[in-house]
Structure 1
Amino acid sequence: MNDLEPPRDDLFAQRALMRGRARTSRRRSALLGAAAAVVVVGAVGGAWLTGTHGGSSSATSAGSAELMKDSSSSAGAGDGARSPQSLSGNGAAGSPGMAPSVPPARDTTRWFGTLSTPQTTAFTAVEPTVASRWPDVFSGAYAVDAAGARVAVVVTRHDPALEDLVTRAMPSPTDVEFVVMSHTLAEKEKVAKEIVDQRMLWRSKGIEIIAVTQDARADQVVVRADEGSSPGLIAQQYGDIVRVVPSTQTAPGKLPDGSTLPTLQQ
């Protein structure tokens, strides 16, 4: 077409159509490019979020599992522990002699000491069951004879089910007898724990608590204490459930009779 020639209507319409198609194509390309960019950014961002939150969730889950494990261990650390029957130990800081401390749980020597006979072993095996099932009846136990061939189980009243359980556990039905006393084991352990927990209060009153033990035969809590200028104060507060044994602390390097320990020979 000659540029000097006036445009014809058909050529003008053709050029306008071509320009419109080109403009539409450019817009479509721009929109597709922007959409592709958004998709890529969204995909990368989603992957990053998934990785970050997934890692965080894993870490949180691991931490929770560890915490539950520690809690279970701690809980399990203290599983079956009983109130103290013998509370003597190394003592509190700053105290020159013995001071009460809670013994390990499940002390198998609490009733019979070093005695180990079929009868004492049989009762030791069922004692946790007796104490847990009959807390308002069970009071303690002791060896009837020095050899430990017979044991006595102390109760606050006769209970056929308790006595049947213990009797059937014995090598022979005649190896056990049941003695009725006034105080349950739970009562005595509560008093023993209270005395131990309040030893600083007793010290402020001039009384040094040295050791606290159970005496099932006498149905009492035995408190070894240096009462100083306040004799009778503990018994006055607790009554016949407590028996105080006057004692004095042994100074470091001294024997109970007050003599000095001999020098070690090189």
Structure 2
Amino acid sequence: MDRKKYGRKEFIAFLGKASLGAAVAPPFLVRCGMNSAPLPSQALSAEHVQRLKDLVLESLEPSDADDLLLTSGLDHHVVVKWLDRINDDDTFGFNCDFNCFLPFDEEDPNDGLLWVNHEYPDPLFVSGYNFTDPQRVRTKEQVDKEMYSVGGSIVRVRKENGKWQVVPNDPHNRRITAHTPIRLNWDAPIKGKNTVIGTHSNCAGGITPWKTFLTCEENYYECYGETQHHSDGSTTLIPSDYGWEQYYDHPPEHYGWVVEIDP
């Protein structure tokens, strides 16, 4: 299959909705498991491999320092962090998980888009809600802050003078949150809707051959609970950990999906 000639619609038709799984996934989608192999474009040069073999790292002593500790010869700098402003209206999200980089030009790997998953909030930091307070009452304002902190961030980053930096207010910079409307790609409405509100619990992810981002919703039941189905046909909503369902009636069936983001 020629990836360059294969568009999104042709690819989905090729796989078939019922067969979208690892068992039939072509090599460029296989990233998990012992049998996955890198693409030719991802193969390291012999020179690069030799440099890695020659690299000698000193071990670190145990420490209780609240910091990122690196061995001699390594360095780091923060590219972007929680609450950093990425445009006039949005700030970078909380609790980063999967991230990936999509260069604008494959011949220039120093300028492109960074996608970052924001998996779940820590209410104590994000909204001030304290699980350990016996008098705790979660407000809608607190829930809204938590919903904004998750989802994902798209930021343009550029490498200058050996360091990566966010390009401020670039038109690509934006947030996808638990408030963002997302269209369902399905044959029929799910729980009466063709559009769901938001994405959250964003854990794994990937990049499609047609240059869009994928973000995978994992422990979705922590936000709106879970629907328990009984043998008599009735259902019961199991409450969530975060309690968002107190203020937003979004059914659990709307979540737990792979979400495609067109940057």
TM over 0.5: no
Measured against the shorter chain, the TM-score band is under 0.3
Higher strand share: 2
Higher helix share: 1
* TM value normalised by structure 1: 0.21
Larger radius of gyration: 1
